[in-house]
Amino acid sequence: MLILCLVFWLLGLGLQAACEPKMLRFARLPDLTLPPSVRWGRFIFPLLGLVIVFWSNPVVAIFVWAGTFSLAAVIVAIVWASLARVLESRR
Amino acid sequence: MQDNLRTRMGWLHAWVGFIAGLLLFCVFVTGSLSVFDTELTRWLQPEVPPQAPAFSPQVLDRTLPTVRELLQQGEKPFITLPSSRDPFVRVQHHDGYEFLTVPYNPQTGEQLQARDTAGGKFFYDLHYTLRTGLYGETLIAAAGLALLVTVGSGIIIHLRGLISDLLLVRPFAARLRAWLDVHILASVPFIPFVIMMAYTGTFIRTRTLFPPVSYISSIQNFVSPHRATEAEPPETKRDIPIGPSLPPLLDVAEKTLGKGQTGFILFLPNSVLFSRTDMSGPLLTREHVDFSPVDGHFLRHVLLSTPVTQTQQLMEGIHYARWTGTGLRWLYFLSGAMGAIMFASGAIIFLMKRRKVSGKRVMFRVAEGLTIGCIPGFLLATLAFFWANRLLPTSLPARHLAEVHCFFAAWCLSSTAGMLWSLLHRALPGWKIQLSALAFLGVLLTPLDFLTRPGASMLHAPTVFAATDICALLLGLASLQMVRRLRC
Amino acid sequence: MLRGLLALGLAWTCAHLITVGSPQWGPGARHDSVVFGQMIAIAAFPVLLLIAFGTQKPLHGALIAGTACILAALGLLFHA
């Protein structure tokens, strides 16, 4: 349940990074104009994660949801920084 | 400089954050370790095997001689029942600082010959008192308030870039930029956790800062009991009744608390309390069923259930996190560790920003010396505690105190060295030496564990031993990387 | 610096007055009212400090925090 919620947050935050011009500039990626249906994933994935943790165990749901958000943010940020470094070294 | 809300909040954030942050770094490190206090006690007593047979309630009576001995010494012993976190029966008592424990086989009741250790509870005590009792509690509660102010001002400063900079970390940018990114990454995603822990933690110790009576009366209350105890004659050895058999009482208690819901049995002079386990839910109710210590007849059932009390229990439960499963416990640990990184990076940024202008000033040198002592120095002392646990002879009298002395000796040494290096304008070698020592102790903790643990094997299931060793290894490698980057 | 100390003093006074007055909020449930008062005091302290320190004009911040102190002091007269 925790892992699944983490995966949903990773997807949501990954999309958020891909939609954020500042993040794209940092990684020197071209402007990815994602279709609106994909952009909505930024909000839908976290909500799906919340539904799953509530369905699994409502007592711990909020704590797991908030905790996995923090962890996912760190993972996405580190992966994005590594990606930017790799792309920079290739140029 | 332009005087606006951001600059005012920036000033408040920097100064309050730096002054309280050095102390809060220690609080967050010990808090993160306290999440696994029970597991750490198992690492610190390697004679106790990782697995244990199933619990038989009959063994409780076999612990009674130890309980009686402790009662005669005027202690308030308690027996903790096996749980998913610790499968052994333990007789514990508080020595004024730590909970000292004696483990028993949960099926046979045989006492396990484990070394005397301050255990994981050492970090718990350090977390909220700094081992200085009420003074430490007051100081830490004040630091908790400072943390709330720092977080509030930090949110105001960073409000504009809260979303856009959330995932932005540039480790290979200019140093100040890289540290700022690390600081933001370690703080913004963890704001809910930090606010929750700062608020609940300060609330738990509010009485030390905001007593419900005037300060004059509370100082009088604090001073007068000491006078009374000074006049009291030394306590004579009390006559302790043989006491009732515990398994039937456990049965009765579980009819009220629920099957498997008894966490510990506390022995007081006038009653035996069967208390609900802290693992039963987010509310730390401490509901208990009391029996007579003479003949075991039922005395009372205590449960406070007003809405305000339940809110208080919820806040305590959230802060102590004893009800959580392994996954959530790791999230608490990681969030606490990131909190510590937030304070460490904040302190480094504070120094970096002022180095050019004030680098030669004595106060700056003192501030940097304190930072070296509080950040790598404190981590060094923490690892020294683990090393002392394994290297001190097991037959040493008052061994648990020797471990604690090793911790404070290491901390004192590293703080003094850091301060001296800094005052001599050699802060960089000071950082490098401390971080190198930290890397050495962290990386070599795993070999030390294998060499000093009876029955250690490379191919065992993930246990508290493996987890502790890996965490120390990661800390060591991170320190090594920092030493490497400092050379650049 | 001076403004910071003033903000600290006002926020601390307000939080202290809340906890000192809280036992009188519920004469039949002193424990509960004290706990409730402490919950409010801990939340009020940082908010008041930030307001007292953060306003454009120092007097405005002091006035807001001072008013909160007066309200908290009125709580001393309050009997549930």
Domain for residue B382, yes or no?
yes
The ipTM of this complex is 0.94
Picking from B185, B318, B327, the nearest residue to A74 by CB comes out as: B185
Is B225's pLDDT higher than 80? no
What was the pLDDT predicted at B1? Answer: 61
Spell out which residues of chain A touch residue B169, defining contact as CB-CB under 8 Å: 77-78, 80-81
Chain mean position to CA B296: 36
| Phi, psi (deg, nearest 5) at residue B90 | -130, 140
pLDDT level of residue B174 (50, 70, 90 thresholds): confident
CA distance B11 to chain C (A): 10
Q: How close, in Å, is residue B485 to chain C by CA atoms?
A: 37
| DSSP code for B301 | E
Residue B336 confidence (pLDDT): 96
pLDDT at site C78: 67
Q: What is the nearest CA distance from B353 to chain C, expressed in angstroms?
A: 19
Query: CB burial class (10 A; 0-12, 13-18, 19+) of residue C47?
Result: middle
pLDDT at B434: 94
In terms of Cα–Cα distance, which of B275, B252, B259, B245 is closest to B92?
B275
pLDDT higher than threshold 80 for residue B75:
yes
Question: Does residue B313 belong to any structural domain of this protein?
Answer: no
Does residue B196 form part of some domain?
no
Interstrand relation of B89-94 and B78-80 (parallel, antiparallel or unpaired): antiparallel
Minimal-distance CA residue of chain B relative to A75: B167
Across the interface, do C39 and B203 touch by the CB < 8 Å criterion?
Answer: yes
| C49 contact residues in B (CB cutoff 8 A) | 149
User: Is the pLDDT reported for residue B228 higher than 60?
Assistant: no
In three-state secondary structure terms, C57 is coil
pLDDT digits (tens, 9 = 90+) for C15-59: 999 999 888 887 778 888 999 999 999 999 999 999 999 888 889
Residue B410 located in a structural domain: yes
Looking at the 3D structure of chain B, how many domains does it have?
1
pLDDT at position B96, please?
Answer: 83
Q: Which residues of A51-67 are buried (b: 16+ CB within 10 A; e: fewer)?
A: ebbeeeeeebbebbbbb
Domain count, chain C: 1
Nearest by CB to residue C54, choosing from B9, B145, B215, is B9
B28 pLDDT more than 80:
yes
Question: Which domain does B437 fall in, by range?
Answer: 359-487
Please give the C-alpha separations between residue B227 and each of B132, B134, B220, B223, in angstroms, as whole numbers: 20, 17, 11, 7
Rounded CA separation B17/C33 (Å)? 32
Please state, in angstroms and rounded to a whole number, the distance separating the CA atoms of residues B195 and B153. 12
φ, ψ dihedrals at B48, nearest 5°? -80, 120
DSSP code at position B111: B
Q: Is B475 within a domain?
A: yes
- Neighbouring chains to A with at least 3 Cβ pairs closer than 8 Å: B
> What are the strands, taking DSSP E only, across B13-98?
78-80, 89-94
Confidence band (pLDDT; 50, 70, 90) for B459? low
Range of the domain at C23: 2-77
Q: With bands split at pLDDT 50, 70 and 90, how would you rate the model's confidence at B468?
A: very high
Burial level of B48, CB count in 10 A (0-12/13-18/19+)?
buried
